[in-house]
Every structure is written in structure tokens, then in C-alpha cells.
Structure 1
Amino acid sequence: MLQKTFGGGKDQIKVAHSVPTERDTRLDVFRALCLLTIFINHVPGQYLEYLTHKNYGFSDSAEAFVLISGLSVGAAYGGKFVAGARLALTLKIWRRALTLYVAHIMTSVVTLAIFAGGALYFGRQDLIGEINIRPIVEQAEQGIVAMVLLGHQLGYNNILSMYAVLFLMLPGLLWLNVVRPRLLFVLSAGLWLAAGCFKLVPYNFLDEGYWFLNPWSWQFLFVIGILCMSHARSGGRLPRSRWLVGLSALYLLISGFWVLFSWWNLDFSFGLPAVLTGFDKTFLSLTRLLHVLALGYLLAIIPFVSRLTRLDSNHPLVMIGRHSLEVFIFGTILAMAGQVLLFVTGRNPLIGSLFVLVGIGLHFVYAYYLDWLKEVAVRKPLRAA
């Protein structure tokens, strides 16, 4: 019996088992662009950093990546979270959450080693004062425990822990999306608002402070992505109202001028909570949320963008997006090495820019390598058979 299912934006046919079809590469391309932008931004102090879109609007690649992740999760799991398969899928999702947690700990440990190695090799003990490393060094026993229990985060090493929490929440989000999608939106929006108004956020216990990326706030953007993909899976389309297009473009234009001309001292709060009128990244202020949604909306409805990003499966950008977790870990470790290099060279922007250019090239090389490994793994069972 044939059954039509959604898969990567195109229909597939199931006959007793899934028969894969051509992968829709648009999300992979956007995900790759986000990964490369995150790498560039994680090596601050070099010229290429000024070319990324964080300099021309309220949001940056982190918001775009979370929205894309929500869309990808909706495509990968949304149609499968049905009665009889929920337990197995929940265990699979939680296993992914464990993978994200382990990846977070691994990158944090490697980051510590890179900075400690730089301090020893170059005789620059002041490197230990960077990216929140000093509390771990000064309180080693407590620091190791705090890092493992997610009670202390290093700078630029705080995204994967937030993702791990989102994936722990994911089975409940998918269940609500199946039974009451509108209730999911309301509850998610309520949690985002409450987190921003009452500062509901996981706290660090090694030193004062809290997580840089609050999962109770960022889950709202993640849920929006899931709901949008579910809407598309059910045959829905994004509205193409001229008013909506105009408002989105106007908002992007205003936010661009706001950042370019540093209008941060202008106060339009009217006594409202900061989560509605501020620009805080931790609690994903409404200004940042609307910016990434307006940008995503315009990119989604412009046919030229859709055609431009529908690339072959062997395109380098598609390869990077397809191996997003591995590439993100690789880029994070590379960026930490770049930060040490910039630090010991007096933050020379030219050296930093050359390092980032080489690093971008290495991203493509690594993605090719991962694809090659996957092909080898597929060929071995075929030869054995």
C-alpha cells in the first residue's frame, strides 16, 4: 500500500519501507551559511567579522541557526511522531540530546587545553583571564564538576548546552504539535515571556551569573520553526501579503540603520519589560526575535532565493549543512585556536583575517572528508554482501 509522506520539502513514496528521494538542500545551504558566519564571528577582531549580518540588524547567525534547526526538526520528526512510534522516537531524540551534551563537554575541554597550551607555550598567563576560564583554574575541583553539570560555561562554548536542553524538551513539543499546535504556540510564547520578565534562567554555581543563551527563551524560536514546518507539511503556505512584505522589509531597514548608527541610547520602552523592548540576546528580546522572523520570511517567499539555494547534494555548502554538528564542533575548536593566535599577536586584524579565510577553506575540506567517510561506510556492507 502506497503512503504519501513529507520529506525534505518533497513527496516520498513508502512501500513497506522508506525509499529515499532527492534531498531538499535549501535548509542545508542556509545552515552552512550560518555555520560559516558563526565561525567568523567567534574569531573577533578581524576584518571579515564586519561583513556578517550581525552588523546590519538586531539578530545574528545564532537566531537564524535556531530557527533553521526548528524547521529541520519539524521535517525530520514531525510526521513520525505518531501513536505507536512515540516511545522509540523519544529515545532517539534523547540520545541526540546526550550526543549534544557530550559534544559540549568535549569542546569545552579542548578549549581549555588550547588556551592553557597557549599560556604555557607563549608565556602568556593572561590568556587564562579570557572567555571565563579563570574561575575553573582557580577552583579546579569545583570547576570541573561545575562544567560537567553545566553550572559553568566558557565564552563561545554555550550553544550546544542550550541545544541539549531543547532536545530534552522536544518529545513534549512534538506531542503538543500533534494534538494542539495552537496550545503549543501559546505555552511556548508564555514561557518565553515569563522567562524574560521574571529572569527564569539556568544559573551558574561556580561564579555569579547565568547561561548566556537561556533555553526557556530560545525554545520559542525553535517552536516557531517546528510549527512553520508542520504548516508546510499539511499543505499550508506562507502568506504573501504586500503589507506583510512591506512591514518586514521596513523593520529590517530600521534595524539596519539602528545598528549602523548606534541608536542604542534611544528609549522606546514606555515602561514595558525589557524582553519586549530591549536587545538582550540571553532572553531573546522581541526586537531580535522579530528581526530573524522578518528576515526568514522574506528569504522564504522570494523565488530567486529558493532557486539559488536549491543546489546539488554534492555541492560544498550542502555538505557543510548536512554535517552540521560535526562541522560546528570543528569550527568552534578552530575559532578558539584563532582567538589564541590573535591574542598572542596583539590582535592583528590582518593575521586574524588570513586565519579565518584558511579556516573557511578547512570547513569545506572537513565536510568533504565526512562525506567520504560516509561513502566508505556504505560501500563496506555492500562489498561484504
Structure 2
Amino acid sequence: MGSRENTRLLSVDFWRGLALLTIFVNHIPGNMFERFTHRNFGFSDATEVFVMLAGVAAALAYLPRFRRGHAGTTSFRIVQRAFQLYMAHIVLIIVCGAIIAHSVATTGDMRYFEALHLDILINDTVPGLVGLAALGLQPAYLNILPLYIVLLIMAPVLLFLAGRSLVAMLALSGALYLASQLLWLNFPTYPSEGWWFLNPLCWQLLFAIGIALGAKIIDGGWPQFPRWLLWISCTYLAVSCVWIVSGFYPSWNPHWIPRFIWDFDKTNLFLPRLLHVLALTYVAAHLPVERWLRDNELMRPFVVLGRHSLAVFCLGTVFAIAAQMVRAQFGGSPGLDTILITSGILSQLVLAGVLEWYRSGSSALSAASQRQHS
């Protein structure tokens, strides 16, 4: 590859690719491989990892431009990216809705629509379409992109502050997180009454922390912390693993302590989940993953997956919904689960490989054209 390949931080794309595959497996509930994903061994899951790395990637891609004084044009590029995600989300719902509609037409069972919260588009189409366009419609397993869209819309403010003071950015983000927890602030769904499954006002803190980590990477490395913090992080991960694996849940309910401090709610990214993904990130940062990736070509497909995250996520989601319909009609079995998971992962790897091949070819042609005109 070219010089860009040599300077790019491969571990960010690697972990993001691994998170995408984990999300795919988790979005086929009940399959035999689901029990081995890391959400069964701790408080957080792949969604937290993905949002954290999205913040890191946003910093690596856009923060240098903010620091050079190009806030206006860079903000416009970020909004363009958010619009791309918006269009991808709309198309994704339509495609997944068509897959479910085929299952309904085959079986005559309308409960397939109800299971994924898409029945509103059938029973009350006009307000359902309004909710779809306004992101107020939150189908099951299709609520990550709306969160990401809002985070990207918030990104210019966070990046502008990060370009001047990481402390100020994290303080503002932390204040919004705290206010959202104490005041129960969230975006409403529409037309059904309720709230977004992934509350952007809370999840933005994890995204902001990712931006701060990305800023430190740009400046020459991870922030230096005392050695004992690594041991605390390892201990916290071990305790959370025992907690989840044992199925322990305390019977006490301390009303005098805010619930977000001790509970594990995913919607509002309660503190134990946030601390878990931070501890996981800190421990993983001490592994020589970057060297492993540069020395081992066998790991490169996971890097390519993370590099083309939007396309891979969309294909994985379509496969996951289709797999849900197949399992609902034919029942789950080890053989069927193996076929579904294997074919889905291979399809995502092939898609990422094709996109990487096309991008590499386009870059080579562009470089050759520039040499001819220089």
C-alpha cells in the first residue's frame, strides 16, 4: 500500500470491524454463537465499542482541519456524512421491511411486523411515514444509525471545543450527560409514544471521550496514567465478568442513590456500562495490537471491515433480519445457525474486500493522473 496505509492506525479499524461482526451476531437473537460475544462477560457490549471508536475516527478524520481553522468547510463535510447515514438508514428500513413483508406474505403471520416494531407502518401508514422521515420511528435492531446521525450532527461543536480545550469539551459533554440522567431527558419516538432506545444525550459522552482519545493519538499517543489504574481496570473487568456470568442481580434498590450510578440500563448508558467500556479500552490499549496487525496479514480482513463500516453494517443488518425470519420459520439448530452466521460474515468480508479493492484502484489512478499532469 501507499504511505497512507503505513501511517494509518490499524487497530482502530480492527476493533471497529470486530465490533461490527459482534453486532451482526447479536442481532440474530437465540443463535448458538450469541452466547460467546463479550456482552455475556461484562456490563457493556459492541455498541459501546462502536460509538467509542466512532468518536476516535471522527477526531482522526476531522480534528486536524478544525485546528487549522477550517471549521466551516469541515462542519459541512460532517453534515454531508450525516445525510449519507440518514439516507442509508431510510433505505435499510425499506429493505428490511420488504424482507419481513415477504415472511408475512408467506406465513400470513403479522406478528413478524410487531416483533420489530414496524407494524405502525401497516396499521397507521401516514404518521408512520412521518416518524420514519423524522427518525421518530425506532424499529428493533435498526436504532444504531439514528444515534450515529445525531452524534455526527453534534460533532462540529465537540470538535471545535476539542481544538481549543479537551477539558472544556469533556466538561460540557459530561454536564449534558449528568443533566440527561438526573432529568430523564431523551428524544421522543413518533408516532408511538416512548423514547429512543439509544439516548443520544447520554451516549454523546462516550463519543466525546472517543474524540478526546483521537486527539491524544494525533498528538503522539495515549495519555499517560499511573500503573495502578491498569490493575483497577483489570479488576473491574473481572468483577463485571463474574457478575454477569453468575447472573447476580442485587435485590436492594437504593432510592437515595441516582439509578444511573448503580444500574445497567443501555438506553441511557448508565455509569457501570460506561466505566466497563472505558476499562476495556484502557486494557486493550496496552496490548501490542498495532504491531500484530502490521506483522500478520491474516488479521487484515478485520481492518478492512472497520474501514468500510457503513456498508458493512448495512449488509450485516440486512442479513441479520433475514436470518431472524429464517429462524422464525424453520426453527433454530446448530447447523442452521452455523450456515447463517458463516454466510453473513463471509458476505461482509467479501463486500469490504471489494470496496477496498475499488478504493485502492481509484487512489492509484488518481495518483497516476496527478503525476502525468505535474
- TM-score tier after normalising by the smaller chain length: over 0.9
Select the residue among 22, 29, 32 that pairs with 1:37. 22
Q: Is contact 1:45–1:352 with CA below 8 Å preserved after alignment?
A: no
Select the residue among 38, 46, 68 that pairs with 2:31. 46
Residues 13-32 of structure 1 aligned to structure 2 (within 5 Å): 20=4, 22=6, 23-32=8-17
Kindly provide the amino acid, as one letter, of the partner of residue 371 in structure 1. E
Question: Aligned partners of 2:298, 2:86: CA distance in 1, in Å?
Answer: 29
Aligned residue in 2 for 1:113: 98
Task: Extract unaligned runs of 5+ from structure 1.
Answer: 1-11, 13-18
Q: Is contact 2:13–2:307 with CA below 8 Å preserved after alignment?
A: yes
Question: Aligned partners of 1:224, 1:210: CA distance in 2, in Å?
Answer: 24
Report the Cα offset of residue 141 of structure 1. 1.3
Task: Extract unaligned runs of 5+ from structure 2.
Answer: none
Residues 245-260 of structure 1 aligned to structure 2 (within 5 Å): 245-260=230-245
RMSD over aligned Cα atoms: 2.2
Kindly provide the amino acid, as one letter, of the partner of residue 97 in structure 2. L
Question: Aligned partners of 1:165, 1:176: CA distance in 2, in Å?
Answer: 17
Question: Aligned partners of 2:37, 2:123: CA distance in 1, in Å?
Answer: 36
TM-score in terms of structure 2 length: 0.92
Alignment partner of 2:241: what SS?
helix
1:305-363 Cα distance to aligned partner (Å, 9 max, x none): 34324455992112111111110111111111011111111344542332012211111
Fraction of identical pairs, as percent: 36
Kindly provide the amino acid, as one letter, of the partner of residue 81 in structure 1. F
Q: Is contact 1:279–1:288 with CA below 8 Å preserved after alignment?
A: yes
Aligned residue in 1 for 2:358: 373
Report the Cα offset of residue 236 of structure 1. 5.2
Name the structure with the higher helix share: 2
Kindly provide the amino acid, as one letter, of the partner of residue 277 in structure 1. W
Question: Aligned partners of 1:37, 1:353: CA distance in 2, in Å?
Answer: 15
Q: Is residue 280 of structure 1 aligned with residue 285 of structure 2?
A: no
1:221-262 Cα distance to aligned partner (Å, 9 max, x none): 010011122123334543353321111111111111111111
Question: Aligned partners of 1:103, 1:192: CA distance in 2, in Å?
Answer: 28
Aligned residue in 1 for 2:128: 143
Alignment partner of 2:108: what SS?
coil
Q: Is contact 1:93–1:167 with CA below 8 Å preserved after alignment?
A: yes
Report the Cα offset of residue 374 of structure 1. 2.3
Select the residue among 337, 345, 361 that pairs with 1:360. 345
Question: Aligned partners of 2:221, 2:112: CA distance in 1, in Å?
Answer: 52
Report the Cα offset of residue 39 of structure 1. 0.4
Q: Is residue 90 of structure 1 aligned with residue 75 of structure 2?
A: yes
Aligned residue in 2 for 1:126: 111
Q: Is contact 2:170–2:209 with CA below 8 Å preserved after alignment?
A: yes
Alignment partner of 1:81: what SS?
helix
Question: Aligned partners of 1:378, 1:336: CA distance in 2, in Å?
Answer: 34
CA distance 1:379–1:178, change in 2 (3 Å): closer
Kindly provide the amino acid, as one letter, of the partner of residue 372 in structure 1. W
Q: Is residue 217 of structure 1 aligned with residue 202 of structure 2?
A: yes
Question: Aligned partners of 1:353, 1:100: CA distance in 2, in Å?
Answer: 30
Report the Cα offset of residue 105 of structure 1. 1.0
Q: Is contact 2:293–2:300 with CA below 8 Å preserved after alignment?
A: no
CA distance 1:219–1:189, change in 2 (3 Å): same
Question: Which deviates more, 360-369 or 240-249?
Answer: 240-249
Aligned residue in 2 for 1:196: 181
